[in-house]
Amino acid sequence: MALKSVTIKLYIYSGTEGVYTSSDLKYTISKDRISTKTNITIEIANLVRDYLELNFNNDYISSSVWVTVSQTLYDSDTGLEYDQGRSPVVTNYLALDGYGYYEDSINPQLSTAALYTSNNMYLPEGVAGKFPIFAEGVGKVIIDSATTEITDSGNSNQKIQYLTIPANSNSIEVYDTDDSTLLKTVTVNNVCEPKYTPYKITFVNKLGAYQDLYFFKKTTERFNVTDEVYKRNNISNSSVTYNTYGGQQQRYNVNGTSSLTLNTGYVNEDFNSAIEELFLSENAWIRFEGKTLPIIAKSKSYTDKTVLNDRLINHTVDFDFAFNKINNVR
């Protein structure tokens, strides 16, 4: 017998692993084996991403889904199932909207503990923060001297948990499920900023979690307008004259967009990785005038900064608000 083809069924759902219904069947895919190959490869990541909803409203809700893959193999000689009498092979996966780098190779194993890419967290003095962890791989988290035990119910809606970091905390320690192996230490830097208004940017990081970055220093706001103009005939047919206050040029399709230039203030070198992931993120928001608003990182190039080269490290990033000023939602 030789492998001819495979048919896979993708079930994508929330809740408990392996508990799904026929309505959760999102895709059925069949593929033949290429004659020069011994196996069949099917990429499902982009299909699953269609069902990962990232609707952030300052609420820090776990954004993960279960994916159950049921595969049936077929024999090239008989056309029947490759292993007759055997049930389809069923495999369960938990999907997050993360990614690996090229140098990480195929299907890299990302962090299964702290879903926070930096070793430093910067918060305004007197303001609490949020710290994302992956519940399956963490037993406890110690914030200063206070211990939080982590429980994993198996439900997809709590696989990513966002711990509240109390205002003016100093350190975060993340431990393995054995409660003794230290996996990550994060230093909390409480920044006193008496002159400027700090702005919080939240983005989806490499690990598929919401991560906050505060920009503490100078903010520059800009407003850009787009329009079109046509030349109109404003002469009156009845009087064969025109009003001089009417004008020959008429604007239409007028709208505008707002943009911001933000500065982090002086930060540690390891902040480079967070800025890089912000630039690569498809989803980001700003807390602005009491609302959570979508933004897009307008800056398209980034220079890695080091203490050796730059001494004091400040990151400047340009953002566009991701909507028009005049509401034209139809």
Chunked into runs of 10 residues, the chain (330 residues) has average pLDDT values of: 86 95 96 89 93 93 94 76 70 94 87 91 97 96 96 93 97 96 96 96 96 97 95 85 87 95 94 94 96 94 87 94 93
Q: How far is it, in rounded angstroms, from Cα 217 to Cα 305?
A: 18
Number of residues that this document lists for the chain? 330
Beta-bridge partner residues of 13: 66
* Structure tokens belonging to residue 122: 């910067």
Q: Which residue has the tokens 């919080």?
A: 200
- Asked whether 76 and 4 are in contact (CB, 8 A), the reply is yes
Identity of the amino acid at 33: R
Burial 17-28 (b: 16+ CB within 10 A, else e): beebeeebeeee
Helix (H, G, I), strand (E, B) or coil at 271: helix
Q: Tell me the C-alpha to C-alpha distance, in Å, between residue 328 and each of 22, 57, 138, 255, 321.
A: 39, 22, 46, 9, 15
Amino acid 2: pLDDT: 77
Q: How far is it, in rounded angstroms, from Cα 37 to Cα 35?
A: 6
Helix (H, G, I), strand (E, B) or coil at 136: helix
Q: How far is it, in rounded angstroms, from Cα 90 to Cα 68?
A: 7
* Structure tokens belonging to residue 181: 């192996």
Q: 163: closest CA among 182, 135, 125? A: 135
* Structure tokens belonging to residue 285: 């928001």
- Residue 277 sits at φ, ψ, to 5 deg, of -70, -35
Q: 159: closest CA among 63, 269, 37, 274? A: 63
Q: How far is it, in rounded angstroms, from Cα 237 to Cα 249?
A: 19
- Residue 10 sits at φ, ψ, to 5 deg, of -105, 115
Beta-bridge partner residues of 203: 211, 284
Amino acid 211: pLDDT: 97
Amino acid 77: pLDDT: 65
Q: How far is it, in rounded angstroms, from Cα 175 to Cα 220?
A: 41
Note the pTM of the prediction, 2 decimals: 0.90
